Amino acid sequence: MKKLASLAWLTLLLNISVAQDGGYWQQQVDYRIEVTLDDKTNSLDAFEQITYTNHSPDTLRFIWFHCWPNAYKNDRTAFSDQLLENGNTRFYFAKPEQRGYINRLDFRVDGHTARTEDHPQYIDIIKLILPEPLPPGGRIQISTPFHVKLPFNFSRGGYAGSSFQVTQWYPKPAVYDRTGWHPMPYLDQGEFYSEFGRFDVRITVPANYVVAATGELQDTAEKVWLAGRRTFHWTPVVRRVRLKGGGTKRIRQDYPTSAAQTKTLRFLQEGVHDFSWFADKRYIVDIDTCRLPSGRTVQVYSFYTPGQADLWKNSTRYAKEAIRFYSGQVGEYPFATVSVVQGPESFGGGMEYPTITVISPVSHARQLEQLIVHEVGHNWFYSLLATDERTHAWMDEGINSFFEQKYFGEKYQDTLQPESLLLQTKAVTRTDQPIELPSDRFSPSNYELVVYYKTAAWMHWLQSVTGEKGFQEGIRQYFTRWQFRHPGPADFRMVMERAAGRNLDSVFTWLDKPGLLPSGRPRGSATGLVFQPTHLDRLVRGAGSPYRELVTLSPLIGYNAYDRWMVGGLVTNYKLPPSAFQWLLAPLYATGSSGLAGLGKLSYTWYPSGAFRKATLLLNGSRFADDRFTDSAGHTTFLHFFKVVPGLRLTLRETDPRSTRYRFLQFKTYVLGEDNLQFGRDTLISGADTLVRNTYRTTRKQTVLNQFRLVWENNRALYPYQAELQLEQSRDFIRAAVTGHYFFNYADQGGLGLRLFAGKFMYLGGRTPAREFRTDRYHLNMTGANGSEDYTYSDYFLGRNQFDGLPSQQIMMRDGGFKIRTDLLSEKVGKTDDWLVSANFTSTLPGKLNPFGWLPGQGPLRLFADIGTYAGAWSKDAGTDHFLYDAGFQVSLLKETVNIYLPLFYSRVYRDYVKTVLPSRGRIWHTISFSMDLARFSLRKIDRNLSL
């Protein structure tokens, strides 16, 4: 009687709502499903019977169906494409047994065979053609068997070992509402929209599985068994198995053996739009009750593994506190149960379903509480207020995040919101997006920051405008009016305006605008992110300014072979969000050269409209010692360089915010001053004696180099690439170079990196011996370039002009990019003042060849190979082969910023150099080289979205 009464209440509520809203209607879909789990094949065999009631004013001749397990069928689905766009290649390279699908469908409508048609674009949507039209008010019975091969849990559902997360698993009619049909493919970023109805589901599993599911369990014996799981314990078993060859092998058993017997469990739930279930043989089960102010009691369950028992011991308490909080703030929880389930690590985070949520393993209790509160809160903003989440994600995730923040603010007085800094940064750099957008149009970072955090901030602003009382009344009316229905933005606005008694256009129009909300502009406190130990706040725009500037102070040390240890400080206004004018100063005292060294950076950035997204004027400068000379008297003279570099960078605009492209134009002028030694002789005549003395003095050489770069890169997850055109001009020459990078992903992670280079050197005014001598360091070079060839002083070198010891083995990736060095020759191998082309290959080590036990594609060990040719190799009197090569091992650290190379195979000309020039003792050590590519380091190596 209780369930019948509940159904009657729901029907009455819907009828009242229809009358109140002048023709609002929604379809009703009731399900009866019988499903059996085969945990050996990770598959389901099931039969589904649907009662479809047409409450619309239209006659239906077909029904779109979601068959979402087919999203995992191959790597050409919308799901797979989106994962790649978001930087995730796990599913694309999944093994065949990790894929999933649904098949063996045989639809019948009222007992008559019905045909289906494929969706023209999406493999996981089909159209069911009705044998007879379904008129308004009509009802039909739809049935079909189906078989599901569960995928590995790449996204919300599937299997991980013998743990099963059965979500979005059955053929489900798409929503037909006031705006028409809503057939949508399964996506990882972007949730769901489904019709309300009644679920009667029977689940058959091996008898020792614990099953958690949407709705109320109907089996008394199973309830008793679950109550005894509070003290269950399981430890993985490791045993040794003898092999045929006589050896042994260690086998780890992570799950209890499945029972030979099976059991069938029945779950019932009315007034929901989805059904999910979870099965694991290791679950501990906590059971508690939550009494609501009305006197109703809710049964609270939590299911978790022994490995997480310490962290989950308070999970039912977190769920109860969330239920009471949301019931008090929004409206009373109407269902009889709520369940919290621990899922696998593979999908990460948490995911909500009606009356149940799944949460991946966590590292601390506060994180678990936050996830439980957020996911339980979705019973209001998703399960009961069932917005089209794919189109209006903010009404689900964002409004729920507002109440989650309110919960923690009241309980813990939480005020720290690191998302605020990131959102302000996105807004200031004009890379954010409006709140009111479909889920799949957001960039991944904006989906997290805008949909969740900015919407919550917008809700805080709405509350400040309407007042606490009006806001609270509006939320309660919204819940009462629209629970068990599909509200949209206009419905939410109408209710809030009625409660507030005023027009809220000034607030709701901000849903369609990017940028900071009026309430989100920081006032009265610093908004910068402190990276260093100490800081100083000061106003930069006068009293009452809405923005504050953060000045950061920090001690700093440095080192090179000439300045030796350098000590000093760093002072900067770099912060988040960034100021338009940014500066950094790092003055240092050099203990070796006994003088001042250091660097500085100034920049001013603005964000124009049109072709360029960002424009930056910059001015950089630095001064360090780069050589030293000790005369016969033991006196040491240090030689320094300084540079001043003005420039302009123009970053091109990408029309699609989800684009992974990054393109810019850059102009720089390098004004360089370099100390040199000038040697001479003084003749002294004293009486009959004539004395000749060697002398030297320091002179300063000044050079101006103009540089233009055009960079085009695509940081996509699959086959990323970069292309760069660089033109350089100085008094005597023009140097042109094109460099391309391409990465071929391997299926088992890692991949092959390809670098292509082509360069041309041209004299201005013709080639002369004097020009050849003056431009020597700028000539194209095949072999490893040393510090003296870093003519823009952009790379960090331990010792720029060292010819022995570790500093002498440092190279830079320039021109030909070979890893072997020939510095001790008067003319380096592969050096030319004409043209040069090369190809450089770097590959991660396949797992079977990896001696250190890393997973395939992981670890620092690489293989490298270089091949190239140059003008001199094709001259008549060339002493080298047309094509040169080297190959060996590479160790890459810090996202390939630091690389160590061991050449093992190389061309004859290099072998001759190694045998005749390098000392026989420690010869292998002397062929090792390393690079530190700090000048080209980009935050996009860490996160491809960091292109501010």
Return phi, psi of residue 511, to 5°: -65, -25
- Beta-sheet pairing, 116-118 with 60-66: unpaired
Residue 604 CA to residue 616 CA, distance in Å, equals: 6
pLDDT at 250: 83
Q: Which H or E run includes 403?
A: helix 397-412
Residue 408 CA to residue 451 CA, distance in Å, equals: 19
β-partners of residue 60 are 134
Tokens of 645: 């570099």
Return phi, psi of residue 322, to 5°: -65, -40
Residue 845 CA to residue 851 CA, distance in Å, equals: 10
pLDDT tier for residue 473 given thresholds of 50, 70 and 90: very high
Residue 570 CA to residue 343 CA, distance in Å, equals: 46
pLDDT tier for residue 691 given thresholds of 50, 70 and 90: low
Q: Is the pLDDT of residue 16 over 60?
A: no
* Exposure b/e, 136-154, CB count within 10 A at least 16 = b: eeeebebbbebebbbbbbb
Helices then strands, each counted (H, E), the chain: 16, 45
Residue 401 CA to residue 448 CA, distance in Å, equals: 11
Q: Is the pLDDT of residue 948 over 80?
A: no
Q: Are 649 and 622 within 8 A, CB to CB?
A: no
Q: ∠226-229-234 over CA atoms, to 5°? A: 140
Angle between helix 455-466 and 489-500 (nearest 10): 30
pLDDT tier for residue 528 given thresholds of 50, 70 and 90: very low
Q: What is the mean pLDDT of residues 863-876?
A: 94
DSSP 354: T
Q: Tokens 């700028």 correspond to what residue?
A: 778
More confident residue, 532 or 722: 722
Residues in the chain: 948
- Percentage, residues of the chain above pLDDT 70: 90
Q: What is the mean pLDDT of residues 289-308?
A: 96
Beta-carbon neighbour count of residue 799 at 10 Å?
21
Residue 82 CA to residue 185 CA, distance in Å, equals: 11
Omega within 30 of 0 (cis) for the link into 577: yes
Q: Are 863 and 845 within 8 A, CB to CB?
A: yes
DSSP 523: -
Mean pLDDT of the chain: 90
Residues 6+ apart with CB under 8 A from 514: 427, 430, 432, 433, 434
Residue 429 CA to residue 451 CA, distance in Å, equals: 18
Q: Are 749 and 840 within 8 A, CB to CB?
A: no
β-partners of residue 671 are 644, 704
Closest CA to 327 of 353, 356, 367, 298: 298
Tokens of 706: 């103009």
The lowest-confidence range among 472-476, 499-503, 850-854 is 850-854
Return phi, psi of residue 692, to 5°: -105, 125
Condensed to tens digits (0 to 9), the pLDDT of residues 776-823 reads 999 999 999 999 999 999 999 999 998 888 999 999 999 999 999 998
Q: Tokens 């919290």 correspond to what residue?
A: 340
pLDDT tier for residue 850 given thresholds of 50, 70 and 90: low
- Beta-sheet pairing, 216-217 with 210-213: unpaired
Q: Are 563 and 591 within 8 A, CB to CB?
A: yes
Condensed to tens digits (0 to 9), the pLDDT of residues 880-927 reads 889 999 999 999 998 888 999 999 999 999 999 998 888 877 788 889
pLDDT tier for residue 683 given thresholds of 50, 70 and 90: low
Q: Is the pLDDT of residue 137 over 80?
A: yes
Tokens of 127: 């159209």
When computed from its CA atoms, the radius of gyration of the chain, rounded to whole angstroms, is 35
Q: Are 275 and 201 within 8 A, CB to CB?
A: yes
pLDDT tier for residue 126 given thresholds of 50, 70 and 90: very high
Residue 550 CA to residue 553 CA, distance in Å, equals: 10
Closest CA to 520 of 426, 588, 608, 586: 426
Beta-carbon neighbour count of residue 611 at 10 Å?
8
Condensed to tens digits (0 to 9), the pLDDT of residues 56-77 reads 999 999 999 999 999 999 999 9
Burial of residue 113 (CB within 10 Å: 0-12, 13-18, 19+) is exposed
Q: What is the mean pLDDT of residues 83-109?
A: 96
Q: How far is CA 175 from CA 131, 147, 278, 823, 874, in A?
A: 20, 23, 25, 72, 71
Residue 690 CA to residue 697 CA, distance in Å, equals: 22
List, in sequence order, every beta strand (DSSP E) within 871-933.
884-893, 898-906, 929-932
Residue 362 CA to residue 371 CA, distance in Å, equals: 9
Q: Which H or E run includes 56?
A: none
β-partners of residue 147 are 45, 103
Condensed to tens digits (0 to 9), the pLDDT of residues 536-573 reads 443 333 333 334 578 899 999 999 999 999 999 999 99
Global pTM reads 0.89
Q: Which H or E run includes 910?
A: helix 908-916
DSSP 260-284: SSEEEEEEEEEEES---EEEETT-E
Q: Are 756 and 739 within 8 A, CB to CB?
A: yes
Side-chain-facing half-sphere of 156: CA atoms under 13 Å:
21
Residue 735 CA to residue 715 CA, distance in Å, equals: 28
Q: Are 484 and 13 within 8 A, CB to CB?
A: yes
pLDDT tier for residue 853 given thresholds of 50, 70 and 90: low
Q: What is the mean pLDDT of residues 85-100?
A: 95
Q: Tokens 């440095």 correspond to what residue?
A: 558
Beta-carbon neighbour count of residue 115 at 10 Å?
10
| SS3 labels along 626-637 | EEEEECCCCCEE
Q: Which H or E run includes 423?
A: helix 418-428
Condensed to tens digits (0 to 9), the pLDDT of residues 238-279 reads 888 777 777 777 888 999 999 999 999 999 999 999 999 999
| SS3 labels along 198-223 | EEEEEEEEECCCEEEECCEECCHHHH
Beta-carbon neighbour count of residue 50 at 10 Å?
24
Q: Are 887 and 863 within 8 A, CB to CB?
A: yes
Q: What is the dihedral of CA 329, 330, 335, 339, to 10 degrees?
A: -60
Residue 638 CA to residue 636 CA, distance in Å, equals: 6
Q: Is the pLDDT of residue 634 over 60?
A: yes
Residues 6+ apart with CB under 8 A from 796: 932, 934, 935
